[in-house]
Amino acid sequence: MTISVWPDNKPLDVAAIRDLPEGERAEQLKLVAKQVRRLVVQMIDIARAGHIGGDLSVTDALVTAAFGVLNISPETADDPGRDRLILSKGHCAAALYSVLALRGFFPVDDLETFMKPLSKLNGHPNRLKVKGVEANTGPLGHGLPIGVGSAIASKLSGKNWQTFVFTGDGELQEGSNWEAAMTAAHRKLDNLVVIVDRNRLQQGARTEETASLDPLADKWASFGWEVAEIDGNDTAALLKAFTQNRNGKPLAVIANTLKGKGVSFIEDRVEWHHKVPSKEQVELALKELA
Amino acid sequence: MNAHSSVANETFDCRVAFSEKLIALAEADPRIVAVCNDSVGSSNLNAFRDRFPDRLINVGIAEQNMVGVAAGLANGGFIPFVCAAGPFLSGRATEQVKADVAYSNYGIVLCAMSPGMAYGELGPTHHSIEDISWMRAIDNLDVLVPADPEQTKAAMDWAVASGRPIYMRVGRHKVPSVTPADRDVAFTFGKIDVTGDGNDVALVATGTLVSRALEAADILKAEGISARVLNVSTIKPLDAETILKAARETKGLVVAEEGVLEGGLGAAVATTLAENHPAKARFLGVTGFAPTGSNDFLLEHFGLTAKGIADAARKLVG
Ligand SMILES: Cc1ncc(C[n+]2csc(CCOP(=O)(O)OP(=O)(O)O)c2C)c(N)n1
Ligand SMILES: [Mg+2]
């Protein structure tokens, strides 16, 4: 089985997207996001494992940050001043790997080895195995503290990079996030952005039926953060939020998303946290993502 | 079963026996509650939740909170079974386990689901291979590793009856039954269960490695090497008497575990031997962060197989 990408055989010049005017950028980002979703479905099909729901919900935000805003490229991968993208919800490694492959960090064909014996593409990302991965996540609630440290380093070193941290919403039940939130606000880390993938589902149930998070925007605001609440599956809205004025504070983007976004029978269903689609369902999913 | 019969073919996920037993215990004792971290499905607690909706406390993805909540429940007269994936229970909440459970001496059963490398290709963050070392280091905490469904259930009986602070692995990787048919109880706290009386070598194993040690004994027997198999289901306190007897009566011991060597079962055995009856020994365990691969692939990768155990045994007697 081989991974197919850009089915129309017309690859986008992904490196050029960041320089496009905002409207055009948002349109191109949509195309990239569709490719990432197709790759995710194929990877999970080949591996017969993975976290499809969260991969598909976070795709638009990841793509918008990586291709539309941040200075992230294979050429600058070892540059001390590069921007940092941290996937705290590490179970969605397939989405991150797809983004990194499309951005040229490693061959797209390597995605076929996802979770295979001795593959560099482990079920959770490893910075020592894959360039572009900044944090070895997997246990939830680790990304934001690391992001806070990164944002402090950015200021201390005078290199002034941006740090973007992607968390799940269920993940926010971990207290470490709120410890880090206090540090970030206290230190006025306006170079730090947390993107909360607010799909309202966690592993076994809805967040509000487990340990409710609402009113979530108020929580971040009361912790001293600038807050933007947007449609997290809309690249235009994401672009706007990522580049908005932060008023000297860290920014929390509450990205309201659909878990499983883009595949009708997966969308907003708790059982698709880590269920693997059947062969027929993979066909259907790829048709919907054509 | 005796030392010379092959290991049974049918294999079991111990979480199934665990959840059946938990419901049975809860039917009989209203003090029993389950506490978990968004792990209802992965801890096999769906049936428990349906039967006792009020007695399942799912705190969300918050392990430190989870263990602290369990301590509060114990303080209030309940017997909490804390059910969470091993890496997050033992790793994330270590200080709560120490201060709130062990030091406070509460009867709480910390149930580490899917321990060892059960989460295979999810990688080292999800492998619970340091748990035995971490938990062994905590005073006043009993550490149990039942090797099959019968032992899992019997250990739960003991846990409730004893009222002790307990850390217990609940295996997900499928294992055959290793409990000999003639045993009255499948698990006796603080006692090693010995299969066979071979006096060339002693194969000391725990959890997933017990059936592999029994197979290794078969392999060795065919070569004329007689082995006894020690199933260590109470890691702490360790049954020093049975270890020392094996050391006196054989030419050496192979210790095998699905965990790191630093501070694990092997280290406990080594201390016991060194202080009382120095003997030759070989130690098999997980030696480093694992590469990507399934649980079976990784056990093979680290030599934690019947063949690996037999190879080590041959070196001892040869
Ligand atoms: C510390 C920790 N506890 C538990 C888990 C198991 N786990 C993996 S994903 C997940 C649910 C995550 O939900 P959410 O953060 O909402 O992510 P998403 O919906 O985006 O998939 C859980 C409980 C974990 N990875 N880490
Ligand atoms: Mg979620």
Identify whether residues B38 and B164 lie together within a single domain. Answer: yes
Q: Do the Cβ atoms of B309 and B203 come closer than 8 Å? A: yes
Residue of B nearest to A201 (CA): B38
**Alpha carbon of A124 to ligand 2 centroid (Å):** 17
Identify whether residues B231 and B286 lie together within a single domain. Answer: yes
CATH fold for domain A7-288: Rossmann fold (3.40.50)
Domain extent, residue B297, equals 193-317
**Alpha carbon of A154 to ligand 1 centroid (Å):** 28
- The structural domain count of chain B equals 2
Across the interface, do A173 and B123 touch by the CB < 8 Å criterion?
no
> Does residue B2 fall inside a structural domain?
no
| Contacting residues for A77 by C-beta, under 8 A, at least 6 apart | A105, A131, A132
Residue whose CB lies within 8 A of the most ligand 1 atoms, among A137, A171, A196, A200, for a mutation test: A171
Tell me which chain A residues have a C-beta less than 8 angstroms from the C-beta of B91: 139
Identify whether residues B159 and B21 lie together within a single domain. Answer: yes
B36-70 tens-digit pLDDT: 999 999 999 999 999 999 999 999 999 999 999 99
**B171 vs B264: CA distance, rounded Å:** 17
A95-127 tens-digit pLDDT: 999 999 999 999 999 999 999 999 999 999 999
Q: Do the Cβ atoms of B292 and B239 come closer than 8 Å? A: no
> Does residue B200 fall inside a structural domain?
yes
Identify whether residues B233 and B263 lie together within a single domain. Answer: yes
Which residue among B147, B176, B205 closes a domain?
Answer: B176
Residue B234 has what pLDDT? 98
CB pairs under 8 A between A and B: 89
Residue A4 has what pLDDT? 74
Identify whether residues B70 and B141 lie together within a single domain. Answer: yes
Across the interface, do B61 and A170 touch by the CB < 8 Å criterion?
yes
ipTM tops 0.90: yes
Which residue among B141, B176, B211 closes a domain?
Answer: B176
Helices A52-63, A93-102: inter-axial angle, 10-degree rounding: 40
Residue A7 has what pLDDT? 63
Tell me which chain B residues have a C-beta less than 8 angstroms from the C-beta of A174: 61-62
**A3 vs B117: CA distance, rounded Å:** 29
Question: Looking at ligand 1, which atom is closest to the CA of residue B88?
Answer: 1
Task: Tokens 């499928």: give the residue.
Answer: B174
Which residue among B108, B141, B176 closes a domain?
Answer: B176
**B127 vs B286: CA distance, rounded Å:** 10
> Does residue B256 fall inside a structural domain?
yes
- What is the CATH number for B163? 3.40.50.970
pLDDT beneath 70: ranges in chain B:
1-6
Residue B5 has what pLDDT? 56
Identify whether residues B166 and B254 lie together within a single domain. Answer: no
Identify whether residues B49 and B139 lie together within a single domain. Answer: yes
From the first residue on, what is the mean pLDDT of each consecutive set of 10 residues in chain A (290 residues)?
Answer: 66 89 96 96 98 98 98 96 98 98 95 98 98 98 98 98 98 98 98 98 98 98 98 98 97 98 98 98 96
Identify whether residues B169 and B198 lie together within a single domain. Answer: no
Q: Is A211 on the interface with B (CB under 8 A)?
A: yes
> Does residue B187 fall inside a structural domain?
no
Across the interface, do B39 and A203 touch by the CB < 8 Å criterion?
yes
List the single residue in B41, B60, B91 with the smallest CB-CB distance to A210.
B60
- The C-alpha of B291 sits at a distance from chain A's nearest C-alpha, in angstroms, of 5
* Residue A259, amino acid: K
**A263 vs A284: CA distance, rounded Å:** 8
Residue A153 burial by CB count (10 A; 0-12/13-18/19+): exposed, middle or buried?
A: middle
Residue A69 has what pLDDT? 98
Residue B293 has what pLDDT? 98
Q: Do the Cβ atoms of A178 and B64 come closer than 8 Å? A: no
Nearest CA to ligand 1 atom 24: A139
Task: Tokens 């470490």: give the residue.
Answer: A176
> Does residue B68 fall inside a structural domain?
yes
Residue A12 has what pLDDT? 79
B264-293 tens-digit pLDDT: 999 999 999 999 999 999 999 999 999 999
> Does residue B112 fall inside a structural domain?
yes
Residue B6 has what pLDDT? 63
| Contacting residues for A149 by C-beta, under 8 A, at least 6 apart | none
Question: Looking at ligand 1, which atom is closest to the CA of residue B85?
Answer: 4
Identify whether residues B216 and B267 lie together within a single domain. Answer: yes
| Contacting residues for A29 by C-beta, under 8 A, at least 6 apart | A17, A60, A63, A64, A67, A68, A235, A239
Identify whether residues B166 and B17 lie together within a single domain. Answer: yes
Residue B318 has what pLDDT? 83
3-state secondary structure of B12: strand
> Does residue B268 fall inside a structural domain?
yes
3-state secondary structure of A278: coil
> Does residue B181 fall inside a structural domain?
no
- What is the CATH number for B216? 3.40.50.920
What is each CA distance from B97 to B69, B106, B137, B235, B286, in whole angstroms? Answer: 11, 10, 11, 17, 24
Identify whether residues B56 and B166 lie together within a single domain. Answer: yes
Euclidean distance between the first and the last CA atom of chain A, given in angstroms as a whole number: 19
Identify whether residues B28 and B172 lie together within a single domain. Answer: yes
**Encoding tokens for residue B90?**
């033992």
Nearest CA to ligand 1 atom 12: A202
A30-51 tens-digit pLDDT: 999 999 999 999 999 999 999 9
Residue A1 has what pLDDT? 55
